[in-house]
Structure 1
């Protein structure tokens, strides 16, 4: 059984420990559903001041809701729409300090005020995005971006995307 302890410290140390926990949590398990579910849960338990963490997966030319923690969410997001669709289309991380200022923001939870979305790629192939929402403005910064991009790279190391 995997035990997690609440992580503290500055953001650099926090993400080093979070990513180490993810690496150990996923060790030896290639299944994408199991690993995405555990990754969403780990983020939800460890990140302070968030109200949603999870994944949208690229299927049928759109993003479809995958494993997550938080309130029920939008099920389908067109590419290029909202923060998730824009991140997927551009294949780059997007940090949004105030979602109300983001053109075309899709409000799945009216309480969300800021958001970070990290694309998940298998080589050139778009798999989906990691999406994290917070009920406070300016929750995410460049340290979060770096830490969560590393989080996704560790996830990719463990998942066998050929079965996705």
Structure 2
């Protein structure tokens, strides 16, 4: 009497096919993860730029309304805000803006200064138009209403 019973099992060929398919799926998962991580990095960089631009816009609007005397020196590329109690400088460079102790990495492609509606290269100003290289050429215009007594003095 011969007892031959087969044990149910997978063949070597079946196991190799399953391992190959698993390797392909894991490889696709890792490449997708890498792609998602690169997109997230780009989104974070874009968000940081938008935040810095918004922060710069808010700060310069506050300073335009907080200080009485605003001057621009073309030689040093410095915007100076002064009032009787305080003063503040904005140092512009090609890739960043230094405002006191704070630095914003915002490349500015164009700055146009105005006083009483007329363009000015330097000296006392009451408005500025800024165009930034980042964020699809973001731009904004900031002005302050001059005190009527300034015309008398």
Higher relative contact order (CA 8 A, sep 6+): 1
Q: Give the alignment's TM-score, normalised by structure 1.
A: 0.30
